[in-house]
Amino acid sequence: MNPIYSVMILICILSMLTMSVLVRKSVTLTNKTKMWFIITFIGISFGMTAEFLRTVLDANPISNELYRLITLAEFCITPMLPIPLSLACGIKKPAVFASLFMLVHIVLEVVLVNTGAVFYVDGNGTYHRGDYYVIYISSYVISLLYLISIFYFISRRFRNRNLFILIASLVVIFAGILPSVMEREIKTAFLGMTFMAIILYNYFEDLTQQDIANDLAAQNERIKALQAGMIIGIANLIESRDSSTGTHVKNTSNYVSMLAHAAKEAGIYPDIIDENFIQRMISAAPLHDIGKISVPDHILQKPGKLTEEEFEIMKTHTTEGGKMIYQVIEDTSDEEFIKVAYDVAAYHHEKWNGNGYPVGLAGEDIPVSARIMAIADVYDALTMERVYKKPFPVEKALSIIETDAGSHFDPVLAPLFVEMMRKKLNIY
């Protein structure tokens, strides 16, 4: 017996048994899918074992009946192997029709095994193809074609396709299996089938993982949209308590978006302001006054100037807002978003010169997100009507922000905001 062939068969059998163990440990596939893959791999192992035993009996003829039984087992198992592979990949309807055809083939093989019509063993124990060997060849070719169709169905079923793997698998099928069909001395059928099964399993699992990843991404987007809607709703509810119509939430979010994008384009604080930061800022902006829910109505809705005591209570909306951020959105997986939201709520009343509240942060100790929020918040407060004041003209509001750059506001961001708004509103 050819030692290379023996080693090849042994490697293939060990590969299939190893794959069976790996499939059991897969966390991507369902139990039913894993079961069909394992059946396929074990089926290939049985087929290879049968072929190996037949080769042994070729060299050492012991019993023609045993030889015939092993050959029959190989001929029955081999064309059936694409069917469990198909079921493993979720291709069920075509597998039913293929199973019926292969069952007819098995019946014919069993009925004709003693007639020598498909194959026979002569007195010397040598195997020969019979006049109706075409029965086996036809089933095998149909099995190969069905194998090819599995790739097609998979590519139709999944949103992602890998043509390189598909082409490589077809090459393995034709180069590894068809030569064995045409010439008995060339025994590479199960080598090709082993590679094909491994490639198809990896192909299917990879596509499944990609689909799962896409589904999770879509689910995350839906959760983010739901979260954003809830945030806007909470913010509008809070704003309505101080006689606001909710436009403050919308306006400040727009100003934050405009200023953050302008800063990114201008290359300001490039190590902080990137696209992810901007998206988190836009999402967090509506929460900047969430702490006002803890401020009594008589203070929020007071038409006149607040007393010193009342103002101290009003200032607590920053610290309370920071606490509420963690209470409301602590379960989100985006820790950076929580940090931005907290900074915006807790520190948007801090001033560049250190005279703000709640803790008196100064200069670059104030988070960039809070500095952006401060400009957007003050500008909208100045230009909108409140119970305690009339709206300021836009140019006057911009002049106040321009004047207070370096004292109240970030000396770089404030002029950028003023320039941006003047260009947008054509005010010169």
Strand partners of residue 389:
386
Q: How far apart are CA 77 and CA 364, in angstroms?
A: 74
Handedness of CA 152, 157, 159, 165 (dihedral sign): negative
Handedness of CA 85, 88, 90, 94 (dihedral sign): positive
Strand partners of residue 386:
389
Q: Is 184 helix (H, G, I), strand (E, B) or coil?
A: coil
Q: Is 292 marked active-site? A: yes
HSE value, Cβ hemisphere, 13 Å, CA-based, for 261: 9
- Taking CA atoms, 282 is separated from 111, 134, 182, 222, 317, in Å, by 75, 71, 68, 17, 20
- Tell me whether residue 307 is exposed, middle or buried, using C-beta atoms within 10 angstroms of its C-beta: 0 to 12, 13 to 18, 19 or more: exposed
The pair of structure tokens assigned to 44 is 């290939």
Alpha helices by DSSP H, listed for 25-118, are: 31-59, 64-77, 82-88, 93-112
Spell 118-141 as b/e; 16+ CB within 10 A means b.
bbbbeeeeebeeeebeebbeebbe
Q: Which one of 32, 292, 390, 424 is the catalytic residue?
A: 292
Q: Which residue, 420, 386, 415, is CA-closest to 400?
A: 415
Q: How far apart are CA 143 and CA 192, in angstroms?
A: 14
Q: Is 405 helix (H, G, I), strand (E, B) or coil?
A: strand
Residue with tokens 């101080």: 242
Element (DSSP H or E) covering residue 159: none
Q: How far apart are CA 379 and CA 55, in angstroms?
A: 88
- Taking CA atoms, 88 is separated from 133, 215, 259, in Å, by 30, 21, 54
Active-site residues: which are they?
292
